Amino acid sequence: MSAVLGPNSYGKSEVRLVKVDRGAERHELRDLTVAVALTGDFEAAHMRGDNTGLLATDTMRNTVYALARQHPIESPEAFAALLVEHFLQAGPSVTGARVRIVEHPWARVGSHPQAFEREAGGEHVAIVTGDGAGIAVQAGIDDLLVLKTSGSGWEGFEREQYTSLPETDDRIMATVVTALWDYRHAAEVGYGQTWAAARATVLGAFGDHYSPSVQFTLRRMGEAVIDAHPEIERVHFSLPNRHHLLFDLERFGLDNPNVVFQPTTEPYGLIEGTVERG
């Protein structure tokens, strides 16, 4: 049997970028992590060690900083699209580019024009891909830790010889939301405003119902996003179940009416799914 080269790409990951826009009255801060991946005809490099026409990944890193200096960063999506357009012109062997940007949020300290604190509540993810004929834009949320102390249960599940988990109609529900959605018409989207509004929709839907399962809440959040935002075609969620176990205090002569819990991070249940327009 002979081996052939299959799909491949190369690029630069974990490019850390902070940009300060120094206005006369106040400063604006962008804190990004950028990953670049190129696809194309790179067979010569793999098969013969011929690097002719290949852009060095070091050059990709430098390009991120250079374009950040020359252009405003209005949103992660817009900056990713700018990078994609640039890298599609990187050489005749390049046929596709993919840029993933994660924005790490900072909040202004009070009304101070130049002081910031790290903001909790999830990171802004943007993924832009292009092949010369057009671009596709995805956006989403990463590392959004949410919890509700009631309004959730887990009952009626299959029981067999190895089942030990008791049923409950009142439990803590916690998860770390990872969401990624596809825009229907990317050129017509106001990226920053839409991301903030979709995040608010996800948070509102997380808390607005009794949840018999993480699966039910996944569908509820996705449906809310699709209903509220016509510019979004579909949304995918990955929801780890951050268990909070009721701690046994009876051995100490104490009751525990659903007030003292032991949080665990592993092992954990992982629920994933996509909600899209019919």
- Helical axes 76-87 vs 57-70, angle rounded to 10°: 130
Cis before 267? omega within 30 = yes
Is residue 243 part of the annotated active site? The answer reads yes
Pairing of strands 106-108, 261-263: unpaired
Residue 124: partners with Cβ closer than 8 Å, 6 or more residues away? 76, 102, 103, 105, 139, 141, 195
Looking at the DSSP bridge assignments, the partners of residue 38 are 10, 97
Catalytic residue list contains 12: yes
C-alpha span between 120 and 145 (Å, rounded): 9
How many of the other CB atoms lie within 10 Å of CB of 70?
8
Token reading at 86? 């640039």
Q: Which of 124, 229, 236, 243 is catalytic?
A: 243
- Give the Å distances, CA to CA, from 166 to 7, 153, 158, 180: 47, 11, 11, 33
* Selected catalytic residue, list 19, 27, 57, 149: 57
Alpha-carbon distance 174 to 209, whole Å? 14
Of the residues 12, 124, 229, 236, only one is catalytic, namely 12
The answer to whether 151 and 217 are in contact (CB under 8 A) is: no
Query: Which residues are marked as active site?
Result: 12, 57, 243
